Amino acid sequence: MSTTVCLASTSPSHSATTTTTTSTCGSLLQELQEIWDEIGETDCERDRMLLQLEQECLDIYRRKYENVKGTLKERMSSIKPVLEDLRLMKKRIKEFSETQLQIGQICAEIAGNGQFINSAEPQVNEQELTVKKLGELKSQLQELQYEKTLRLQKIDSHISTIHALSVVMSLDFNNMITEVHPSFAGPANGQSKSISNEILARLTGLVHSLKQEKQKRLQKVTS
């Protein structure tokens, strides 16, 4: 009877584990063969004992494999929450960065130095990556967006008034509006309208001066 019965139970995918098991089974079977030869054990009894030993070897291998598999599952279970936390942090950092960038851009536009702020990367403090802090930043962004909308509406109103007055008095509208700021010349130049305090003040002053000029001309006509 050959010892290859136990060797056939090994699996290539688990060679490291089965090598030890196979070696142990092989040594045991070799020793049994020697003992059986000495005591003259029958073939029937040898077959019975070989089948029993083969099953025991398979059981040992199966238990080792299941233990390894269970350990891997436990490790994966412990890693998953960490990965989820990292994904959440990555997402929150992105939200913080985008929100801070938009806040910085609008603040710079109001201050009149939008080109400068666009070249700067917002710094995210990982110690402040809380839902509360993100909510505060988003509220600040909404307020600034509303402020920007009001300024754009006011600018459009001033430009419309300037255009109407320039038509009435036959003045060069495009020249006047471009002198205030090149972004008012039209969308073709690729610039967004300036909403800074200085530009608003200049537009307001231009409207005021045009109205005064119109009033003077009317007085001349009626005098």
Predicted confidence (pLDDT) per residue in 167-205, tens digit = 999 999 999 998 898 888 765 455 678 899 999 999 999
pLDDT at 121 over 80: no
210-220 confidence digits (pLDDT tens): 999 999 988 88
Confidence at 10, pLDDT banded by 50, 70, 90: very low
Distances (CA, A) of 210 to 151, 159, 171, 204, 217: 21, 12, 10, 10, 11
State the pLDDT at residue 32.
Answer: 73
Greater confidence, 174 or 124? 174
Helical axes 197-222 vs 173-180, angle rounded to 10°: 150
Task: Please indicate, yes or no, whether the overall pTM of this predicted structure exceeds 0.75.
Answer: no
Q: Tell me the average pLDDT of the chain.
A: 79
96-119 confidence digits (pLDDT tens): 989 999 999 999 999 887 554 454
Greater confidence, 146 or 71? 146
Q: How far apart are CA 17 and CA 25, in angstroms?
A: 13
- 172 φ, ψ to 5°? -80, 100
State the pLDDT at residue 139.
Answer: 96
CA dihedral sign, ordered 40, 41, 44, 49: negative
- pLDDT > 90 fraction of the chain, expressed in percent and rounded: 31
